[in-house]
Amino acid sequence: MSGKTLYDKLWNSHLVQQRDDGSALIYIDLQLLHEVTSPQAFEGLRLAGRKPWRVSSSLATPDHNVPTTRKERIDGVDGIEDPVSKIQVTTLDDNCNEFGITEFNMKDIRQGIVHVVGPEQGATLPGMTVVCGDSHTSTHGAFGALAHGIGTSEVEHVLATQCLVQKKSRNMLVRVDGELSPWVSAKDVVLAIIGAIGTAGGTGYAIEFGGTGIQSLSMEGRMTVCNMAIEAGARVGLIAVDDTTIDYVKGRPYAPKGEHWDMAVKAWSDLVSDKDAQFDEVVVLKSEDIKPQVTWGTSPEMVIAIDEPIPRAEDQTDPVKKEGYARAWKYMGLEGKTTLAEVTLDRVFIGSCTNSRIEDLRIAADVVKGRKVASSLKQAIVVPGSGLVKAQAEKEGLHTIFEAAGLEWREPGCSMCLAMNADKLGAGEHCASTSNRNFEGRQGFGGRTHLVSPAMAAAAAIAGHFVDVNEFVKH
Amino acid sequence: MRPFTKHTGLAAPLDLANVDTDMIIPKQFLKSIKRTGFGKNLFDELRYEDEGQPDQECTGRPIREDFVLNQARYQGASVLLARQNFGCGSSREHAPWALDDYGFRSVIAPSFADIFYNNCFKNGLLPIVLAPEEIDQLFAEVTAKEGAEVIVDLDAQTVTSPSGEVFEFLVDTFRKHCLLNGLDDIGLTLQQEDSIHRFEEKRMAAAPWLFLSRGQ
């Protein structure tokens, strides 16, 4: 019998009941909650007269819909100007109070994007099952945890039963071999992977990311990679546990302590795929082939290296692709252009659950230090992933570097990644964004998003258009 | 949940691949704390010329004439024909809520994104995967003749095209059972309460650090 993959092990260790039709009842260790996908779930509980199964398994914080300006944040939830958003955030506060769920509210320094907060607090731990009503829950797979996004009905189901009805996915290994080039980051790696397998390439699979190119990444980098597994169609992204994982977790507020810590580290050492494990699909990329990436179209798979020409619809043979490319060219306003360096940028956004951690901010600050944002830009904003990331960045003086360069320094939240609050693109505006989706209208009605790494976004903010950050820093 | 057994309805062809949940229901409408009322903003950016706002009256907004759901012949459609990777992106259940609220009972496509597919079943909306060539034929038949209806039979696991051709589809036994009977799956899971408790005790012994109180 062949060995087990990391995914197999995580699945088996959470299997409550296997059903004949292939579906199974899986136990959930941690549920993260936010204001947008939880109100209807809490309402469902109330209507059915049910209580949460185990409140200590939940952790909540508002992130999607909170404002990010100092002015609107100073009074916490009371300061939110949009009355509809205010009701939504208040509803989360009220529900957490009513059901006894721990919440980091808007006035708590620990508030932030759920996928930044969970790991930062040590709430996310290796070997766990983690769910959240947000597709980017795959982020937590960076810890060797089985983590995926769910819908609101399932949020309610987990609250009420501590379980989910699931069907096991197939196993895919994406291996990145070799050392990454300077200024090539985790974001470039995952964009290159999506470019290679497509946005539906991982549908039905749990993707384990491995190889030396992944192992050499920090936890922040690994979270960036797993975060975007969903953009390749895979609900689950995973990375094996190693010393980098354990060093990151140690000493965090909710991480196990003392005797529990020793017990946990011992258990976590098994959270790797066995040497003889069989994967249903294996994809291999060479690190040396990966250059800084930029998306040109309206799907994360529409991505190229900065030095490549924009692919044209007429060169596509597949009719669906041809039509998709033509539509994206039109939406993105690329007519007459051959490279992305020719696109004049209107805004730059550095933030989101993909790239708003301290390492991301350090890299961006390093690029803009002593430089000025292009005068052609309407706005460049930096939105830290949590109150604690913000505090750390300020301790290191990163905020003064950003502000001196002409970037705005904001309060933590999802912000312009999905543009539910006031941070958004105007119609036709091009944005260099460190977020995860470049769908039509994603960052604002008619807005044009180009996904990039923090280093590439920072360089683009200075130049006013896309440049190869590797060349840029030499001058 | 409303059961789904057999449905005959007008089919609307949405000839676009990779339709994401941001397209199905844009983010500004996610500020609502309700499950209902999203139908008027289904495909908002594809349907209307302007940017929609929550609580805005939609009659009188400038519409995109060429969009399929704006065409007179597809008014009252209850089956959506779609292309590959339908429902990709965000996990927002507001997407199936919006489709349901608009009046759709079933979506037929060559492939769906996982989370969206799952969310449909929780809302009495049946997602059906058919082979690409079968989808092509349905698109052709539905566009060729105005008022063309398809029949979706969950019990028999078949889709009957307007010309009478029958296509079979697969669906998980458990999901089918829940949908046919309109069962609340939380109630079903809670019937396994003892198994969950037993599992939890075992897990608590193996990983006690996962069960500590969080405090405020």
| A189 confidence band (pLDDT: 50, 70, 90) | very high
**Cβ-defined contact of B200 to A233 (cutoff 8 Å):** no
Domain hosting A330: range is 293-472
Q: In this predicted structure, what is the pLDDT of residue B1?
A: 86
Is residue A205 located within the same domain as residue A97?
no
Domain boundary residue among A289, A322, A356?
A: A289
Domain boundary residue among A131, A150, A166?
A: A166
In chain A, what residues touch B33 (CB-CB under 8 Å)? 39-40, 43, 87-88, 91
The total number of structural domains that make up chain A: 3
Query: Rounded to whole angstroms, how far apart are CA atoms B87 and B20?
Result: 5
Q: What percent of chain A has pLDDT over 90?
A: 98
**Cβ-defined contact of A19 to B83 (cutoff 8 Å):** no
Mean pLDDT rounded to a whole number for chain A: 97
Q: In this predicted structure, what is the pLDDT of residue B216?
A: 53
Residue A312: CB partners within 8 Å, gap ≥ 6? A325, A329
pLDDT tens digits for range A362-397 = 999 999 999 999 999 999 999 999 999 999 999 999
Is residue A121 located within the same domain as residue A35?
yes
Q: Which helix (H) or strand (E) holds A258?
A: helix A258-268
ipTM over 0.90: yes
Is residue A93 located within the same domain as residue A14?
yes
pLDDT at residue A22 is higher than 90: no
Residue of chain B with shortest Cα separation from A327: B16
- Please give the average per-residue pLDDT across A148-161, as a whole number: 98
Is residue A143 located within the same domain as residue A12?
yes
Is residue A214 located within the same domain as residue A362?
no
Is residue A105 located within the same domain as residue A178?
no
The total number of structural domains that make up chain B: 1
CA distance B196 to chain A (A): 6
**Residue A405: strand, helix, or coil:** helix
The CATH number of the domain where B85 resides is what?
A: 3.20.19.10
In chain B, what residues touch A437 (CB-CB under 8 Å)? 20, 22, 89-90
Tokens of A52: 């949460």
pLDDT at residue A334 is higher than 70: yes
pLDDT at residue B56 is higher than 60: yes
Is residue A138 located within the same domain as residue A183?
no
- Please give the average per-residue pLDDT across A133-156, as a whole number: 98
pLDDT at residue B184 is higher than 90: no
CA pseudo-torsion sign A97, A101, A102, A104 = negative
- Please give the average per-residue pLDDT across A43-58, as a whole number: 97
Evaluate whether A126 touches A248 at the Cβ level (below 8 Å). Answer: no
Evaluate whether A89 touches A65 at the Cβ level (below 8 Å). Answer: yes
Domain boundary residue among A106, A140, A166?
A: A166
- Please give the average per-residue pLDDT across A176-193, as a whole number: 97
Domain hosting B136: range is 6-184
**Cβ-defined contact of B209 to A29 (cutoff 8 Å):** no
Whether B75 is covered by a domain: the verdict is: yes
- Please give the average per-residue pLDDT across A168-183, as a whole number: 97
Whether A223 is covered by a domain: the verdict is: yes
Whether A1 is covered by a domain: the verdict is: no
Please give the DSSP secondary-structure letter assigned to residue A472: H
The CATH number of the domain where A140 resides is what?
A: 3.30.499.10
In chain A, what residues touch B215 (CB-CB under 8 Å)? 102
CA distance A225 to chain B (A): 16
